[in-house]
Structure 1
């Protein structure tokens, strides 16, 4: 009923499933049915979920469904709503980085703990506002630390123009998130991918541009970069376009609205990349 109501009332809102509830439902409905295969199922499910391209996800998901027949209709039901939970689709929706309602549940637990039948309305109001004030103070302190110009550190030296621009137009969330991404970018390396022999441009070689054929004159990549974490070897692909735009398979720009650490790695290595 709730899902049907959302489709009718919130016409311009994307309905995305909470990962926390998804895991809880799978644990409740599948752990007993799969028995000894439950551990392997969780690993296979995570592998499929993290697929960036829809075609890649679908191939991995079909293997999961075929491998765990004991799951019954549960996996088939999930197959009907892939666009509401699979990362290949959810990653392109702006959600401010929220994938679960865990924060709301935590706030509800706090609310239950500080309210009760023995308190009047004013006491409840005061008790509810105290945690909010503390959170606001903590946020302001963190942002001030990020905004404050410090002695020349590696971060300040590498990203001086970026930090100057961020401090010139401070926004609490943006400044804090970008500063975090700048710090994390120091632990990555980058390598340029070469076009295969006989291929003139990436559009003809890469499937994920096939849906953009009408816009191919705009979406012709100038470079493809492989961004690798120095310790875990986790790899991301960064696509650069001649007009200064970029795409990253982490989808942070689309999902959170903030430039990702992988772009900052390329920004350091390639002179002339914009940050505006």
Structure 2
């Protein structure tokens, strides 16, 4: 089916359900109000009293110049397009041209079948309005301007660029569509909720059609994916599949599933787990939540998969409850996440015995996002001190550096106390290293998984296709594990010199119990042990009283 035929079928699908006449009536009322408001405008000289635009006007930078042109066009009552931009070899803007949105003439690029397309006139009618600006010695100047128009001027509520629906409006439209409201009611509700915004009825109706189309497609796609997983559950004992449905129409808000082999992996290696979400992996804008463990070959293994519609505390609780239900209540000893507030609250209530550690990479990104603008040229020095504070080996040393950080950077104190100070045990090295963590400090292992999956999927992928790609990734893991087991049956050769000379007895013992990958790590530490730089620790007696878990 071609694109035009698809548009017609979509329109016919909803024309029987919606009162199209009501939408047309609302559109006529909207346009008549616009005409009345525009007829009450004064001449253009009075309208431009605040946002004037004349030849030889100067501006300090391009942002101010562009903003002035936009404000001028809104006051007069027409839309603009950015037609030309010239830069020098250093990438600096030297010249810019703005034209009326009705400028130039429309030229068809292909021959269209009259019966297959709707009749619609182009807005490009050769309007001569144009303004040229140039930059000389850091000063932006209006070099020339033509103020003539060959079409009527309207109020700014009729300018196409100002009729875009905001994310808040789209969220309300999606909610009203999900609860079954008709187009006329949705348009009226938006006009009531957003009285200061430009609500274009036909734009709202287009959004309604898109949400309803996605809703119908998603129901079919979700049903197919769920049926497939349930079929696997029947064919192979041990599968765990859970769907989360909400609303009177039982629309899907979450999927969670674990293979029998994944449950077995969790039972073996649940000591350290990592969880993280990613987006842009399906056409419904749902998040993919992956849970990873580290096996005895020091490899990342995917043990649980969930697809959810949001990142709230309740959703995270549902994921963790599914994980416990699938594994007979076997909670992780240590769990690394990106320090999301919803996840922190969910772990606190659902996994009270689990040590929750924060991803150090996400913490650094949050510091940069929230403090770089406040600290400006002091930010680099702040990060150096924060790294020293975070990497302190003793609690006393950490507390001393933490209070010094708050004192030396008062601009950052409020954020640090709110975002990090409430639970320093989740990110400070002196606390995180009290528990076995397999050397993990971030969620990078999950990020690597997400990158692999994103190579095969995108924003147009269905849930069924996403599930196939995840299963393929897990099949690769199992294949590699079988290969590793075959390779590990071959005899290993110990490292010479240092190990045989100083750690011969210890090496003989650990070879009986460790896999080659873990053994290699231990051998590396043995070699490095002779290269350590000795540092004297003052007041070390209290360290003997620490309980290591």
TM over 0.5: yes
Pick the aligned partner of 2:454 from 108, 112, 115: 112
**Structure 1 position 87 matched with structure 2 position 457:** no
Give me the whole-angstrom Cα distance separating, in 1, the residues matched to 2:532 and 2:478: 36
SS of residue in 2 equivalent to 1:114: coil
Q: Corresponding residue for 1:185? A: 529
Does structure 1 residue 52 correspond to structure 2 residue 393?
yes
Q: Please state how far the C-alpha of 1:37 moved relative to its aligned partner.
A: 0.2
Equivalent in the alignment of 2:377:
36
Q: Does 1:168 align with 2:509?
A: no
Aligned to 2:501: 157
**1:145-176: CA deviations, max 9, x gaps?**
9x623584343232221211111223355423
User: What residue in structure 1 maps to residue 539 of structure 2?
Assistant: 206
| Residues 188-225 of structure 1: per-residue CA shift (max 9 Å, x gap) | 3669x7xxxxxxxx9xx83651883xxxxxx9xxxxxx
CA deviations 1:226-273 (Å, max 9, x no partner) are: xxxxxxxxxxxxxxxxxxxxx9xxxxxx69xxxxxxxxxxxxxxxxxx
Q: In structure 1, which of residues 75, 97, 103 is the aligned counterpart of residue 439 of structure 2?
A: 97
Further displaced range: 170-179 or 55-64:
170-179
> Rg bigger for which structure?
2
- The separation in 2 between residues aligned to 1:150 and 1:178, in whole angstroms, is 11
Could you tell me whether the CA contact under 8 Å between 1:114 and 1:128 is conserved in 2?
A: no
More strand per residue: 2
Answer whether contact 1:83 1:89 (CA < 8 A) is retained. yes
| Aligned 1:21-32 pairs, distance under 5 A | 21-32=362-373
Q: Which residue of 2 aligns with 1:75?
A: 416
- TM-score, normalising length from structure 2? 0.33
Please give the alpha-carbon distance, in whole angstroms, between the structure 1 residues aligned to 2:494 and 2:409. 55
More contact order relative to length (CA 8 Å, sep ≥ 6): 1
Gap change, CA 1:184 and 1:114, over 3 Å in 2:
farther
Instruction: Please tell me whether the aligned partners of residues 406 and 413 of structure 2 are also in contact (alpha carbons under 8 angstroms).
Output: no
Question: Residue in 1 aligned with 2:349?
Answer: 8
Give the number of aligned pairs. 203
Contact 2:457-2:466 within 8 A present in 1 as well: no
* Equivalent position of 1:264 in the other structure: none
Contact 2:499 2:507 in 1 (8 A): no
RMSD of Structure 2 on Structure 1 (CA): 3.5
Is there any run of 5+ residues in structure 1 with no aligned partner, and where?
Answer: 194-201, 213-218, 220-246, 248-253, 256-276
CA contact (8 A) 2:371 2:412 kept: yes
The structure carrying a bigger helix percent of its residues is 1
